[in-house]
């Protein structure tokens, strides 16, 4: 079997090994692939892996030997799953590798909003403490989480993991899921968590954290109307998908003070463009889509990718999303 990894450079910048995948066939790994190179690089491959390279119906039409598509991520919107299904090609994702990593990172963003540790460390190194004359100082309001309410939108594995961490800080947890019977599967149960409507979550939460998938229904769900329904001074965190937020509306809310602070690891277009309004908004933390990326999580991703292809070869395809 000929196997092609179209954009493996982010998953494995050199600290992991493709050896296990290579044992399953004739393997070619590209660090990155531009859209115009996709068809040529797939060629007569029977199995491919993609992270962000788009696999459209047009690509599938030009790659008739293709039998398996692996996504090196949990989200699979980069693949035309319906077109793949029509051709009998399973699309397999990696559903669980980053749960703990993303939950940990979500809390890191929240703690940074509460304490601005990086900025205060930079101030000390600039000499502000040395020259200030007082035994301590702070440049931002400092926030204690205990007793505050976090609203979690999307309550699957990651949402549940965030809830447990938030409870460890003494926070109350509200949860909202559009389809609780499916979106709340997986992960250990969370005690003392209350499911509410989206309207109640927006109105009662001191912190709102997004963990839902990007769908036509959720795209732009955090816009002017939703923000107006939130508490004044609310904190907003997004480690899910950038297009869940209408970025111009969030920038306006940060400037007005309606939103007290926001932290995102994802934006609507990645890499972030120079004209993104969030770059110029106050009390805004932006990181470059790295919540998923600890080495331990990437190793789990690699192991599952190998297992997905091996299961397909054995006639027992797993983690099929189409």
Give me the active site residues, please: 241, 270, 289
Distance, in Å, from the CA atom of 224 to the CA atom of 170, rounded to the nearest integer, reads 30
Query: What does the DSSP assignment read for 21-87?
Result: HHTTSEEEE-S---GGGHHHHHTT-SEEEESSS-B-HHHHHT-TT--EEEESSS--TTB-HHHHHHT
CB contact set of 203 (below 8 Å; sequence gap of 6+):
229, 230, 231
Distance, in Å, from the CA atom of 155 to the CA atom of 159, rounded to the nearest integer, reads 4
Residue 167 to residues 146, 157, 160, 195, Cα–Cα distance (Å): 9, 16, 11, 15
Distance, in Å, from the CA atom of 29 to the CA atom of 277, rounded to the nearest integer, reads 36
Residue whose entry in the numeric block shows the structure tokens 């229904």: 217
| 3-state SS, residue 254 | helix
Residue 178 to residues 111, 153, 173, 215, 222, Cα–Cα distance (Å): 28, 9, 17, 11, 14
């Amino acid at each position: 079997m000929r196997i092609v990894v179209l954009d493996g450079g982010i998953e494995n910048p050199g600290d992991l090994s493709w050896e296990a995948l290579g044992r399953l066939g004739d393997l070619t790994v590209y660090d990155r692939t531009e859209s115009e190179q996709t068809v040529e690089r797939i060629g007569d491959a029977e199995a491919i892996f993609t992270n962000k390279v788009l696999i459209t119906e047009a690509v599938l039409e030009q790659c008739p030997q293709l039998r398996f598509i692996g996504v090196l991520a949990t989200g699979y919107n980069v693949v035309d799953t319906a077109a793949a299904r029509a051709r009998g090609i399973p699309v397999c994702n990696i559903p669980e590798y980053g749960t703990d990593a993303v939950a940990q990172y979500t809390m890191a963003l929240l703690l940074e909003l509460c304490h601005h540790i990086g900025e205060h460390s930079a101030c000390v190194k600039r000499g502000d403490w040395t020259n200030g004359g007082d035994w301590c100082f702070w440049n931002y309001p400092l926030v204690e989480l205990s007793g505050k309410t976090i609203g979690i939108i999307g309550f699957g594995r990651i949402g549940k993991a965030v809830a447990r961490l938030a409870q460890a800080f003494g926070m109350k947890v509200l949860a909202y899921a559009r389809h609780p019977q499916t979106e709340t599967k997986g992960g250990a149960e969370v005690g003392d968590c209350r499911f509410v409507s989206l309207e109640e979550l927006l109105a009662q939460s001191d912190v709102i954290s997004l963990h839902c998938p990007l769908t036509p229904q959720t795209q732009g769900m955090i816009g002017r109307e939703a923000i107006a329904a939130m508490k004044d001074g609310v904190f907003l965190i997004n480690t899910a998908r950038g297009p869940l937020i209408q970025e111009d509306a969030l920038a306006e809310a940060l400037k007005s003070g309606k939103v007290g602070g926001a932290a995102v690891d994802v934006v609507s277009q990645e890499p972030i463009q120079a004209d993104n309004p969030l770059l110029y908004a106050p009390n805004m933390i932006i990181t470059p889509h790295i919540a998923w990326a600890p080495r331990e999580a990437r190793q789990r991703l690699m192991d599952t990718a190998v297992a997905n292809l091996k299961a397909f070869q054995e006639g027992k395809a797993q983690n099929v999303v189409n």
